[in-house]
Structure 1
Amino acid sequence: MSAHSDTLSRSGSLSLARWLSSLPMLVILVLTLLASVGETLHSRLLEVGSATWPDYFNLRVIDRLEQPRCEQHPDLGQAVEVAVRAKQAELAEDPFADVFGGQIDREAIHESLRRQAETCRGEWSRWQRLQALNTPAVTAFATMEAGLSQAVIMVTGNRRVLLGLMLLFCAAAATLRRQHISLRPVESQQDDRVATVAQLVANALLTLSAWLYRQQELAQAAAGMPLAHLFMHDIWVTGFGLLTVISAYQLSQSRTDLSRTGSWPRALLSVPLYSVMCLSAALQFMFHGFYHGIAVYLNMMAELSALFLSLGLYVWVGMLLARSHLPRKVFDVIRPWQLPPKWLGVVVLLLTALPTAYSGASGIFILAAGMTLYRELRRAGTSEQLALATTAISGSMGTMLRPCLLVVIVATLNNSVTTDELFSAGARVLLLTALVYTLFVLLLGGRSSLKTASPMQAIPGMLRALVPLLPYIAAFAAVVMVWELLLDRGLDEFSAPAILPLVMLLILAMERWLLKEADPDLGQPETSPDQPVPVGYRQAVLRATDDSTALIGALLMLMALSVSVGGLIERSGLLELFPDSLGSVWLTLALLMGMLVLIGMIMDPYGAVLLVNATLAPIALGNGIEPLHFWVMTVLAFEMGYLTPPVALNHLLTRQVVGVPVAWESLHGTFWQRNFRFILPVLVMGSALLIVTFLPQLSETARSLLLASAPQTVLG
């Protein structure tokens, strides 16, 4: 049996295990997707109904409308007499009637009764018209629309529950598979024990915090205070308790696949970052008597459940992309040009900007396509350090392009900037960063030829490579056109979390069923007349979901604890030491830039945005910095932080998909050679950040070139 057949056999034997581990997450992701699609579809159905039938909004609830009970054509003379007698009886019983006047105005009573009769006839006319319009077609359409409405309300009303289940289920998967993000991988038994003990303590503290918060909320509810979403406390307590049990079990099991030798400093670096954040925040909260502080901020995170659920969909899109042949076929278009490593790096950064934006966050794209980028760069002759640096930077190139989720969160949290302004400025920042990268690579990348293939040789090969991409373009266009025609919605930052999963599911179906292409990790199988080509669509979706589970868990746990750390910083009063007015906009920009980079080094982007919006943004606006300038600088400073040691999240994720460096210069070279993968991104992003921070303040021309928006009036 061939090696490929062995791989397929092993894949088949794992199908049941993958079903068991992937099915719950697949259900959560599908429900999240259906909620997003359902909201848009229901809105469209209401538009179609109102455009097709007059008074559709009354027709859809006609079974709940009561028939008018008034009389359309009353005898006004008799009615006036009845009203007069009733008024006389009332005046007879009123001892003060003579004081305030006891005369009865028959004309006024007659006019009032006449108007009531007109109103009654109008009600009967509307009722009869609705009955005439209530055809079987309207009833069927309204039944379908109402059913969809109830389903959407049921799912969207439980988004908190979905987020809680997603976070805890995925965190359990990341814990069981030991895939939480840390500064260095576990390599020895000592590393594993230290990391597991840290997770055990952190999970126990999370459970205790959730339990204490639950008891406090139940006591307030018993005292009569109206509280919502009490059931979430049970989810947090149960979930974190399960994580604690998993960590305790892992601590009792010694791993035999690791070396026995190790050192304490290296072991401490293997502790997951979420555990470090949890321990730091919990100790500080306890010092201030705020024992349930972490759980409080977890519930604050749930307020933005729709955004964090979208993050889960973006991770799923990234893993579906990794299961497709699309990244390889895109590189096939570039390969005929035989680009030297330096030019290839520039092209890679520009090509990856848009997928980075559509994946919602830099780390997701690195996890999805980082290995493909690294392999193609190495195949072109790029050094290991430059390939690692370029792969890490690629995750930061499109974070301000439409429809990036981070920009949507920024615009959602405050009204000082719009997504259009940020996306417009983001395109210019992308070109600036690519230019800076090109200059540094040309200056620092050593001597090498910059010669490429001639257009006469490259263009025919590029055109041939474009042909296999046509089905992918057609699939993408088909989904977007159907969405546009049926739902009257385009592809933007709000529809992307719903459209992109559908596009990737269609692409995988096309590859497996029409193109007969196997999983990229398996390679193309050897075909024979009596051995059909394996398609494996279900296996590909399950594997992508399975891969997504642990990654979502690692990212969401990091984000959840980042929100707590942000709350700790906010409550500590450290940011209040920042003067409200520094007297110099230049000094303000410099201090803000340093603080934003520091926040980006220790926090995830979404938790960092929440913190900055509540603390630093008012300070910046109060010191005369324009909102658009501040938020563009903020996002770029975050990206700088994700590339800057000691944490350098983008580098950690690159290492997770590529592995640790093994080349001679990475292990035995000079300091510059060993750390070039860190130095180059810091130089590139740092230079771009300095330009974006200070240049717009120098002249209006520079501001227009970089931010592409007229300055706004800032209220100090």
Structure 2
Amino acid sequence: MTWVLSIAIAILTALGAPIFVALLAGASLALLLFPGPPLIALHQTIFGGLDAYALLSVPFFVFAGELMAISGIANRLIGLVRALFGRVPGSLGLAALGGSTLIGTICGSSAAAVAAVGRNIHPQLIDNGYGKQRAAGIITSSGAIDIVIPPSIAMILYGASAEQSIPKLFIAGIVPGLVIALLMAGYISTSAAIARIPRQARFQAQAAFVAFRQAFWALTMPVFVLVGIYAGLFSPTEAGGFACAYALFLGFVVYRTITFPAMLEAAVRSAMMTSRIMMVVAAAGVISWILTVEGIPQALIQATADAGLSPLGFLLIVNLLLLAIGCVLDPTSAILVLSPLLVPIAISLGIDPIHFGVVMTVNLAIGMFTPPFGLNIFVAQSVLGARTADIYRGVLPFVAVQICALAFITLIPGLSLWLVDSMS
């Protein structure tokens, strides 16, 4: 049954079928061709896969991200970073990176960050000598940090599928996300200095204070959300609801940039995005159930034990596997399909499942801007109007930089677990 399932999914995916269609069609074919569980179990499993309280937070954070996109928050965050970095080489590129990182602390959507930052700063990057390739590379790769920095939709899905604590996953992503951002910042600044890209205006305390005042309310949003979760004031799901309410407050009362029709359009886009995510969740639940019934996770654990694979060797294989899969599958699909297979093996080898979740997420974040099929590449192509070849060439150095960050995160579990352990 398993080989029929794998072949069917691979063929349908190669033919361009939506991932949830490929998963459900493969599962249906496998159940039809082989005796075993009744077909009625198919729809029971589909709906059962959605019966997870943690998944209720997904539509809230998606909606919060949409509200952020239409409220002008991105402009204020980018303005703050530009004011702070002043004459630092590559300061405009650092503003794009910093803006993406700060946006990630609000919505956790990589595509939203690429779109928001790209619309605001891409023309300025071109005008200031960064060139089409470098500008596209900075914007496309910076957005990937958003699925590592909390709150992260990818972390929520991993927590739901691997039955791990979402608050712990959120806090585990803070330091790795900052490590990625710092390495990227170092490369952006160094390469800008070598290329002699013109510097921006000198740092001025008054301008920085004005920019901070304009961005203050936006900066408090992730603080309230994360502190509320870790202080036990509300769950991740309730935090998502709070994020939506706070974004509405900022848009309607503080900044007065959101209109009621715009809010309705954002709600419709959020509903469509949520439905796409949940269809993949439901379909992946069926695949996980079939693999469990067939005993595949247990067989893989036994095979790993028989092979005498060390934890480090397993993580190396997983990194190579996920980097390849991330180029063709979005993080949602990859996490939901692979977590039930890989997490039991990781636990059997003594690998902390929280650390493993961060490693998985970072791998798939890199895949989001890795040619040829990274999702951020297509978003950037649409938003920036850039040629695909320019985007490909622009992101390659950042793929290398983030793989270096991945190596640190993989080899040093403390980067992921230090804050988790300190707050336990």
Tell me whether the two structures share a fold, i.e. TM-score over 0.5.
yes
Letter paired with 2:179: L
Alignment of 1:302 with 2:50, yes or no, is: yes
Distance 1:570 1:341 in 2: 53
The one of 399, 405, 417 equivalent to 1:682 is 399
Q: Give the C-alpha shift of residue 315 in structure 1.
A: 1.8
Question: 2:268 aligns to what?
Answer: 546
Mark the CA change 1:428 to 1:334 in structure 2 (over 3 Å): closer, same or farther: closer
How far apart in 2 are the matches of 1:562 and 1:376?
Answer: 42
**CA deviation after TM superposition for structure 1 residue 373, in Å:** 5.1
Corresponding position of 1:371: 119
Asked if the contact 2:277–2:332 (Cα under 8 Å) also holds between the matched residues in 1, the reply is: no
Shift of 1:423: 4.1
**C-alpha separation in 2, matches of 1:471 and 1:498:** 17
Which residue of structure 1 aligns with residue 66 of structure 2?
319
1:448 to 2:158 alignment = no
Sort the Cα spacing of 1:599 and 1:692 in 2 relative to 1 into closer, same or farther, 3 A: same
Q: In 2 relative to 1, CA 465–627 (structure 1 residues): closer, same or farther, beyond 3 Å? A: closer
Equivalent residue number for residue 92 of structure 2: 344
Matched, 1:630 2:356: yes
Correspondence list, 1:671-710, <5 A: 673=390, 675-693=392-410, 695-696=411-412, 703-704=413-414, 707-708=417-418
> Match for 2:241: what amino acid?
A
Task: Choose the corresponding residue for 1:465, options 186, 207, 211.
Answer: 211
Amino acid at match of 1:708: W
Distance 1:296 1:677 in 2: 46
| Partners of 1:567 and 1:599 in 2: CA distance | 21
Aligned to 1:21: none
Spell out, residue by residue over 1:203-233, the C-alpha distance to the aligned partner (whole angstroms, 9 max, x if none): xxxxxxxxxxxxxxxxxxxxxxxxxxxxxxx
Residue in 1 aligned with 2:185?
438
Q: Which residue of 1 aligns with 2:375?
A: 649
1:320-342 CA-to-partner distances (Å, cap 9, x unmatched) read 11221221123233445566783
The structure-2 alpha-carbon separation of the partners of 1:492 and 1:299, relative to structure 1 and needing over 3 Å to count, comes to closer
Distance 1:380 1:330, change over 3 A: farther
Equivalent in 391, 400, 421 of residue 139 of structure 2:
391
Q: In structure 1, what is the equivalent of residue 6 of structure 2?
A: none
> Closer, same or farther in 2 for the Cα pair 1:334/1:351, shift >3 Å?
closer
Counterpart in 2 of 1:620? 346
Q: Which amino acid aligns with 2:206?
A: P
TM-aligned CA distance change 1:433 to 1:294, over 3 Å:
farther
Q: Name the structure, 1 or 2, with higher relative contact order (CA <8 Å, separation 6+).
A: 2
Deviations 1:170-197 (A, max 9, x none): xxxxxxxxxxxxxxxxxxxxxxxxxxxx
Contact 1:642 1:650 survives alignment (8 Å)? yes
DSSP-derived class of the 2:304 partner:
coil
2:304 aligned partner, one-letter code: D
How far 1:597 moved relative to its partner?
A: 3.5
Deviation at 1:500, TM superposition (A): 0.9
- Return the match for 1:500 from 243, 251, 265: 243
State the shift of 1:539 in Å: 1.7
Q: Of 252, 255, 260, which aligns to 1:509?
A: 252
Distance 2:218 2:109 in 1: 23
Residue identity in the other structure for 1:689:
L
Q: Determine the C-alpha separation between the residues in 2 that align with 1:607 and 1:682.
A: 21
Letter in 2 for 1:684: V
Find the counterpart in structure 2 of residue 362 from structure 1: 110
1:580 is aligned with what amino acid? T
Inter-CA distance 538–609: structure 2 relative to 1 (3 Å threshold): same
Gaps of at least 5 residues in structure 1 are 1-267, 520-536, 668-672, 697-702, 712-716
Tell me what 2:4 maps to. Answer: none
Q: Conserved in 1, the CA contact under 8 Å of 2:104 and 2:151?
A: no
Distance 1:504 1:710 in 2: 28
For 1:651, give the aligned amino acid: I
Listed as ranges, the gaps of 5+ residues in structure 2 are: 1-13
Give the root-mean-square deviation of aligned CA atoms: 4.1
**CA drift at 1:503:** 1.0
Q: Aligned residue pairs: how many?
A: 397
Inter-partner Cα distance in structure 2 for 1:273 and 1:385? 30
1:516 and 1:318, CA in 2 relative to 1: closer, same or farther beyond 3 A? closer
The answer as to 2:323 corresponding to 1:597 is yes
For the residues of structure 1 that align with 2:127 and 2:289, how far apart are their CA atoms? 46
Structure 1 counterpart SS, 2:367? helix
Q: TM-score of the superposition, structure 1-length normalised? A: 0.47
The alpha carbon displacement at 1:591 in A equals 1.7
Equivalent residue, structure 1, for 2:304? 580
Name the CA distance, whole Å, in 1 between partners of 2:288 and 2:397: 29
CA distance in 1, matches of 2:124, 2:168: 35
Amino acid at match of 2:104: T
* Per-residue deviation, 1:383: 2.9
Percent identity over the alignment is: 21
Task: Map Cα deviations across residues 372-403 of structure 1 (whole Å, 9 max, x no partner).
Answer: 35455445543333333333333332434444
Aligned mate of 1:640, from 340, 361, 366: 366
- Tell me if structure 1 keeps the 8 A contact 2:65–2:107: yes
Residues 704 and 710 in structure 1, CA contact (< 8 A), matched pair in contact too: no
CA pair 353-496 structure 1, distance change in 2 beyond 3 A? farther
Residue aligned with 1:397, SS: helix
Shift of 1:497: 0.8
Measured after TM superposition, the shift of residue 543 of structure 1 is 2.3
Deviation at 1:686, TM superposition (A): 1.9
CA pair 550-424 structure 1, distance change in 2 beyond 3 A? closer
State how far apart, in whole Å, the 2-side matches of 1:396 and 1:681 are: 11
Amino acid at match of 2:103: P
1:265-291: CA deviation from partner (whole Å, max 9, x where unpaired): xxx877545445555554455444676
Q: Is 2:117 the counterpart of 1:407?
A: no
> Normalized per residue, which structure has more helix?
2
Q: CA deviation at 1:566?
A: 5.1
CA distance in 1, matches of 2:361, 2:317: 16
